[in-house]
Amino acid sequence: MEEQRYKLKKLVAELSKLRGRHTELVTVYVPAGANLIDTVNQLRNEQGTAENIKSKGTRKNVVSALEKILQHLKLYPKTPVNGLAVFCGNVSEHEGADDIRLWAVEPPDKLEVKRYWCDQKFITEPLEDMVKEKEVFGLLVMDTKEATIGVLRGKKIHVLRNMDSIVPGKTAQGGQSSSRYARIREGLVNDFYKMIAENMKALMPPEAKGIIIGGPGPSKKEFNDNEYLPTDLQKKILVVKDIGYTDEYGLEELVQRSQDVLSEAAIAHEKALLEKFFVELQKGSGLVVYKPEDIQKALESGAVDMLIVSENARVMRCPSGHFTSDQKCHLCQMKTEEVDATDAFKDIAHQYGTKVEIISRDTREGQQLFNIGGLGATLRWRIG
């Protein structure tokens, strides 16, 4: 799970648990491309309407929340590229006490909904779809006449390119000898397959977890069996499916018929990553570490190639910034406090160009990592 979505997921979970004493929690969604001034004017009008609320305490809290939102919106010269979500209200658990807090989110995907709502809870549904895993898979539907390349991001199919060939039918034309005609046709088919491979190489996103190929007839299998794709893409092929179309509808049919493969592939990446980690750990190769203090040392020496963190993992940190698994720092003997592991290590990881993989606990390997502290690191070289 990418880091931005992980952080958003944590925030959505936090907001979903909050409840107001009355209908005084304000939710505002500004869609991508919207005029921020229109939102400001709307909130000013809502502020005037809120003055008519009968309950003095509720009226005071709603007006204060709206004013806090309006002051925050002054920080934005215009609506952020993907829109903006703002949550504000009195979240105090005690009647008569004020604790008006504000959260603002620039979402990772384009926000399409416009909403103002005042309730006893925050409205988080528009963000919940964004925090779901959005695995990326490459798609190719083809025969000798046509090919369409696409990607599946989450549940949405994106068409990247459609190509038509100049390959003639199998029947010879104009009195040409059948053998000569077959050779010419075979050469044109080969050229078309090469063109498909070149476009796949140019268009396929590096984060694609796998590639699915489909189409009518034997062409797709011939393309796969003869390994026209570069080695790195060829290794990502998950399955070759029989489908009836080679256009945009073919991509949709391919996805529909590959749900079993897609659901398995969604966790296959995590399983493969962790299996490799635990094999190295068992071998004692010195190319993986899992204790917080060892990971910190490796990160700060630039030796970590990939940092692996279990979702919701925690780690102990002392006031001097040393990480450990214990209640007391092993270096300065100061008391430690528990912090979020991803937040704790992300800045160091980014500083040294280290990849960060956030792992679920949905697999046996994922739970195994969590059981040993929820942290792991693969190293570029052994450290002392």
* Of 235, 257, 279, the domain-final residue: 257
Note whether residue 184 is domain-resident: yes
Q: What are 199-237's pLDDT values in tens digits?
A: 999 999 988 889 999 999 999 999 999 999 999 999 999
Regarding whether 193 and 73 lie in a shared domain, the answer is no
**Cβ-proximal residues to 139 (8 Å cutoff; 6+ apart), any chain:** 149, 150, 151, 152, 157, 211, 212, 214, 251, 254, 255
Regarding whether 272 and 230 lie in a shared domain, the answer is no
Regarding whether 217 and 306 lie in a shared domain, the answer is no
Regarding whether 328 and 252 lie in a shared domain, the answer is no
Regarding whether 151 and 120 lie in a shared domain, the answer is no
Q: Inform me whether the pLDDT recorded for 36 exceeds 70.
A: yes
Note whether residue 262 is domain-resident: no
**Do residues 285 and 365 make contact, with C-beta atoms less than 8 angstroms apart?**
no
Regarding whether 243 and 141 lie in a shared domain, the answer is yes
Note whether residue 288 is domain-resident: yes
**Do residues 189 and 167 make contact, with C-beta atoms less than 8 angstroms apart?**
yes
* Of 82, 116, 131, the domain-final residue: 131
List the structure tokens of 349: 């990881």
CATH (domain of 103): 3.30.960.10
Q: In which domain, by residue range, is 353 found?
A: 267-379
Note whether residue 121 is domain-resident: yes
Say how far apart CA 89 and CA 66 lie, in whole Å: 8
Regarding whether 127 and 13 lie in a shared domain, the answer is yes
**Do residues 105 and 81 make contact, with C-beta atoms less than 8 angstroms apart?**
no
Regarding whether 372 and 273 lie in a shared domain, the answer is yes
Residue 97: pLDDT band (50, 70, 90) is confident
**Do residues 255 and 157 make contact, with C-beta atoms less than 8 angstroms apart?**
yes
CATH (domain of 181): 3.30.420.60
* Of 89, 105, 131, the domain-final residue: 131
pLDDT of residue 271: 79
Regarding whether 92 and 38 lie in a shared domain, the answer is yes
Note whether residue 311 is domain-resident: yes
Q: How many domains does the chain have?
A: 3
Regarding whether 126 and 12 lie in a shared domain, the answer is yes
Q: What are 136-176's pLDDT values in tens digits?
A: 899 999 999 999 999 988 777 889 999 999 888 776 555 56
Q: What are 316-375's pLDDT values in tens digits?
A: 888 888 888 777 777 777 888 888 888 888 778 877 778 888 888 777 888 899 999 999
pLDDT of residue 1: 47
Note whether residue 177 is domain-resident: yes
Regarding whether 150 and 78 lie in a shared domain, the answer is no
CATH (domain of 327): 3.30.1330.30
137 backbone φψ class: left, alpha, beta (φ>0; ψ -120 to 50): beta
User: If we measure between CA atoms, which residue out of 354, 368, 337 comes closest to residue 295?
Assistant: 354
Q: Inform me whether the pLDDT recorded for 185 exceeds 50.
A: yes
Say how far apart CA 257 and CA 267 lie, in whole Å: 19
Regarding whether 38 and 54 lie in a shared domain, the answer is yes
Note whether residue 49 is domain-resident: yes
Q: Taken in order 370, 374, 380, 384, is the CA torsion positive or negative?
A: negative
Q: What are 261-318's pLDDT values in tens digits?
A: 887 766 677 778 898 999 999 998 899 999 988 998 988 888 889 999 988 888 888 8
- Count helices and strands in the chain by DSSP H and E runs: 12, 16
Residue 124: pLDDT band (50, 70, 90) is very high
Note whether residue 316 is domain-resident: yes
Residue 117: pLDDT band (50, 70, 90) is very high
pLDDT of residue 173: 56
Q: What are 40-94's pLDDT values in tens digits?
A: 999 999 999 999 889 898 999 999 999 999 999 999 999 999 999 999 999 988 8
